[in-house]
């Protein structure tokens, strides 16, 4: 079966607003924001993914959740279980499963805009498309541009073409003063491209997230000092071949304009 790519930046699009659980009052008072990214491996074990996301303390109180390798039905089920608003854009109908395959964003805060960012270069063997799902989320009156992304594997594309994919996301994010990029980068070293663009990389030194590698990451622009976030990786689970990653950051609507993003090793 050949892939059915979805190169249209407008479609297919799926979104929903469920009976949302309000953000935790203590978190709001402390102005802390919890971010989670999780590659769900073709959304094959959605019940297990829901169990993980609702029972793990570091995950169940997420303000923003980025999913990769998911479809619309699984995303909606997870959103309902967590009480979160959601938006999902598939990149392809995957030849391995015959189901849609793409990235989703779930939020406990209002989503006021969303888009699909189509990434350049089809995979050199399967000719598969990649994309990022973007959303503008309003947190405490502050607009954050957030991206759930899944870059090509090292087998599909060489380093130069993967950098092109990252730079396509960075070009879209350049229009926004505050941005968060989460997802499966299928690389660790590609993070240096985001650091060079002015992003913090709190997950750089996390333990491995899949097999032998640390590939699932969070990058921040215009929000916090790099030494502020706390981050971690969950234990291995049969819900996926990836571990979920979380990061907690400080956010203050009154002080954000004065926050200086400090690169790793900065003062």
Strands of the chain, DSSP E? 4-5, 14-16, 32-39, 64-70, 85-93, 100-107, 111-118, 131-139, 142-150, 179-184, 216-221, 230-233, 245-250
Q: So what's the pLDDT on residue 224?
A: 67
Question: For 75-96, how does the pLDDT look when each residue is reduced to its tens digit (9 = 90+)?
Answer: 999 999 999 999 999 999 998 8
Q: So what's the pLDDT on residue 31?
A: 67
Q: So what's the pLDDT on residue 255?
A: 44
Domains of the chain by residue range: 4-255
Q: So what's the pLDDT on residue 257?
A: 43
Q: So what's the pLDDT on residue 27?
A: 53
DSSP-H helix ranges across the chain = 25-30, 46-55, 57-60, 72-82, 159-173, 191-196
Q: So what's the pLDDT on residue 127?
A: 87
Query: In terms of CATH architecture, what is 4-255?
Result: 4-Layer Sandwich (3.60)
Low-confidence ranges of the chain (pLDDT < 70): 1-2, 19-31, 224-228, 252-267
Q: So what's the pLDDT on residue 89?
A: 98
Q: So what's the pLDDT on residue 243?
A: 96
Are 110 and 143 a contacting pair, CB within 8 Å?
A: no
């Amino acid at each position: 079966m050949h892939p059915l790519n979805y190169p249209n930046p407008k479609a297919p699009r799926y979104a929903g607003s469920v009976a949302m659980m309000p953000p935790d009052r203590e978190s709001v008072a402390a102005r802390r924001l919890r971010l989670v990214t999780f590659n769900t491996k073709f959304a094959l074990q959605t019940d297990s993914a829901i169990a993980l996301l609702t029972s793990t303390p570091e995950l169940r109180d997420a303000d923003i959740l980025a999913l990769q390798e998911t479809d619309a039905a699984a995303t909606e089920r997870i959103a309902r279980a967590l009480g979160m608003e959601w938006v999902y854009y598939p990149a392809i109908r995957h030849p391995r499963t015959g189901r849609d395959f793409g990235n989703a964003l779930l939020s406990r805060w209002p989503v006021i805009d969303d888009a699909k960012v189509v990434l350049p270069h089809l995979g050199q063997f399967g000719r598969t498309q990649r994309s990022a799902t973007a959303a503008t989320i309003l947190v405490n009156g502050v607009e954050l541009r957030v991206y759930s992304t899944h870059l090509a594997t090292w087998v599909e594309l060489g380093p130069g073409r993967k950098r092109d994919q990252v730079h396509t996301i960075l070009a879209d994010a350049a229009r926004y003063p505050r941005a968060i990029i989460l997802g499966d980068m299928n690389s660790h070293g590609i993070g240096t491209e985001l650091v060079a663009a002015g992003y913090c990389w709190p997950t750089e030194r996390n333990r491995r997230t899949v097999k032998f590698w640390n590939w699932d990451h969070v990058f921040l622009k215009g929000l916090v000092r790099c030494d502020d976030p706390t981050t971690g990786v969950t234990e291995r689970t049969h819900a996926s071949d990836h571990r979920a990653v979380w990061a907690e950051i400080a956010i203050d609507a009154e002080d954000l304009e004065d926050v200086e993003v400090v690169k790793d090793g900065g003062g």
